[in-house]
Structure 1
């Protein structure tokens, strides 16, 4: 197979991997097998070339996909220091007025129009019978809104250099930007977790969450809590400090994906889907 064809398929596989692993309708064992096959393809391409590839999701030119480690305790830490204890202080940035009025209207239309295309959210490395105790929400994948997804990804990419500077976060080469639309209605939540603590999620470097909803606001709760995180080898735990982020309409929050965080329960008395707390959220991968 031509090298450029392999590179193209590898890039598409990264996006496919996200979709497959988040699809709770596919048995966990099948998702694991598919993920391993995709990783094998990525490693074979890495072994034959160091040329740039282009992300199918965001049209970003990036370096060839690196070998994915089992866990990365620190993006700049050497292997000899991986077992040392480290405290990650709370570090995040919230930006208001991220989209213009017309884009917000389009986003709301997309969310409400696709009500029946949302699926239950899933989580990595969790027994499927216990997922509902860990997370409750609905998710809509970017294939249902490709043009809007590209527009938001482009704005996220354009904003990233300023974000990294303000957060004093090391620069990194971006491989792709994953995006999904999530709906939190009455009783929805997401317990404490990290977005980058498994082999499959290790290349997630920065998490972003864009909030939008109908005005006047018909729900309460749904705050994002980011915790000061203690790293001990491969283990993460809450430390002393934390920050509560209110889901302000048309604002976006950025924070390092490794940080422990949670979404507090949402209260939506009407239970109407259109009154949900909506987000475009995802991860910027190195």
Structure 2
């Protein structure tokens, strides 16, 4: 038997000495970053073939770049990774088939018709500082980002996790919060999130130094070819996130992707493989949050 007394507990008043009074509300609203993740996205055979392809193209990768939000100038500040622009009909078909489900989970209503895709590789010291994908798409309030992970087994690198930051609402504006969700870079998994979400790739290590042991991804930005007025509507959550992300968009017009990716038209979802929720209602699990 328990050694604790079985008598009913009596409530105790927490007085002013222990908890000083306050005349104003102190909490600040935080909007969670929506995310949708799939395992075994392409299947073992296709995933392994894609990984072998990425490794075979080592000589064609170039240093990844960023755009300065004020000048629009290309630089490497805050980023250490290798990139290779690619297209894939098979990968685009998989994206198209799961997008209806992804959009339902994320509360996303825009018409998505095209994508930009690059292969990336992160090795020793690889990282990408906090940013949004506003420079990659025309309308950040209605676009999605997707990261598909590839790596050898056993994993030849450590680190490289994706951090998705929540959005803090303060003084009528919006900014990245200190809380975030961590996504592990697991082979043959893909994660979708709003392109307006602040996110970063934490530093990785690669003890062998071999290119084949790097952390590989297919990073994709999915959007509409039209303007914000024709691409559809977004939820209030996505509007708040977009408000914060717009400050990271270059002030000058950007006519092409800084890493050389080119738009690819997404096919229509195949009726026999299109993914949808089994019922019109579902519960969204937000999961635990971490703080820096």
Q: Tell me which interval the TM-score lies in, with the shorter structure as reference length.
A: 0.5 to 0.7
Higher relative contact order (CA 8 A, sep 6+): 2
Partner of 1:134: 78
CA distance in structure 1 between the aligned counterparts of 2:76 and 2:35, rounded to whole angstroms: 28
Any idea what SS the aligned residue of 1:111 has?
helix
1:201–1:125 CA distance, 2 compared to 1 (3 A): farther
* Counterpart check, 1:280 vs 2:218: yes
1:107–1:198 CA distance, 2 compared to 1 (3 A): closer
Task: Report how far residue 238 of structure 1 moved.
Answer: 1.8
Any idea what SS the aligned residue of 1:262 has?
strand
Task: Report how far residue 254 of structure 1 moved.
Answer: 0.5
Partner of 1:114: 57
**Counterparts of residues 1-286 of structure 1 (less than 5 Å):** 87-125=30-68, 131-142=75-86, 146=87, 149-167=88-106, 169-196=107-134, 202=140, 205-230=143-168, 237-286=175-224
Give CA-to-partner distance per residue, 1:33-68, whole Å, 9 cap, x none. xxxxxxxxxxxxxxxxxxxxxxxxxxxxxxxxxxxx
Give CA-to-partner distance per residue, 1:46-95, whole Å, 9 cap, x none. xxxxxxxxxxxxxxxxxxxxxxxxxxxxxxxxxxxxxxx98532211111
Q: How many residues align?
A: 196
Any idea what SS the aligned residue of 2:196 has?
coil
Instruction: Tell me the TM-score normalised to structure 2 length.
Output: 0.61
Is the 8 Å Cα contact of residues 137 and 143 (structure 2) preserved in structure 1? no
Q: Provide structure 2 residue ranges, at least 5 long, that are not aligned to the other structure.
A: 1-27, 225-292
1:277–1:180 CA distance, 2 compared to 1 (3 A): same
Instruction: Tell me the TM-score normalised to structure 1 length.
Output: 0.62
Is the 8 Å Cα contact of residues 133 and 196 (structure 2) preserved in structure 1? yes
Task: Report how far residue 170 of structure 1 moved.
Answer: 2.6
Partner of 1:43: none
Give CA-to-partner distance per residue, 1:125-146, whole Å, 9 cap, x none. 267999433111000111xxx4
Any idea what SS the aligned residue of 2:155 has?
coil
Q: Provide structure 1 residue ranges, at least 5 long, that are not aligned to the other structure.
A: 1-84
Partner of 1:31: none
Any idea what SS the aligned residue of 2:66 has?
coil
